[in-house]
Structure 1
């Protein structure tokens, strides 16, 4: 498989991931404040993830998924 010449596809995936995190958080009626505190992630990092401007680590995504009570695969599919 040939990789694209630019990284726009990565930015789109980051945005979609952020949308999924935000949607799961809203579905569970959890504020950003509650999520960042429970997941042990800084508020700034969480805001950047939700806006698609952060490349989160695997461990960060696992923490977020655990607090949101969703499989990690639901966030990154």
Structure 2
């Protein structure tokens, strides 16, 4: 069983999810259209925006689909 994560880790994941949602809405994209462009499932976008654990490859694909650098999602 993995050790309990420090509170800043889930908080940072939620912040990344919020930045994905803001960028998506700013570009007038639905979760479905972003998922299609990124080549991943809509449920993956939904989980990412909710701040659940996400794969680096998914984060890279979403950043590419949003036409931004991945660090824009990580650092805001």
Q: State the TM-score bracket (shorter-chain normalisation).
A: 0.7 to 0.9
Residue 7 of structure 1 and its aligned partner are, at CA, apart by 2.4
Q: How many corresponding residue pairs?
A: 72
Q: Distance in 2 between matches of 1:42 and 1:61?
A: 13
Moved over 4 A (4+): none
Aligned to 1:28: 27
Task: Give the TM-score, by structure 1 length.
Answer: 0.85
Residue 6 of structure 1 and its aligned partner are, at CA, apart by 4.4
1:64 corresponds to 2:68: no
Residue 8 of structure 1 and its aligned partner are, at CA, apart by 1.5
Structure 1: tracts of 5 or more residues without a match: none
Q: CA RMSD in A?
A: 1.3
Aligned to 1:14: 13
Task: Give the TM-score, by structure 2 length.
Answer: 0.86
CA offsets, 1:39-69, max 9 Å, x none? Answer: 111111110100112x211111111011101
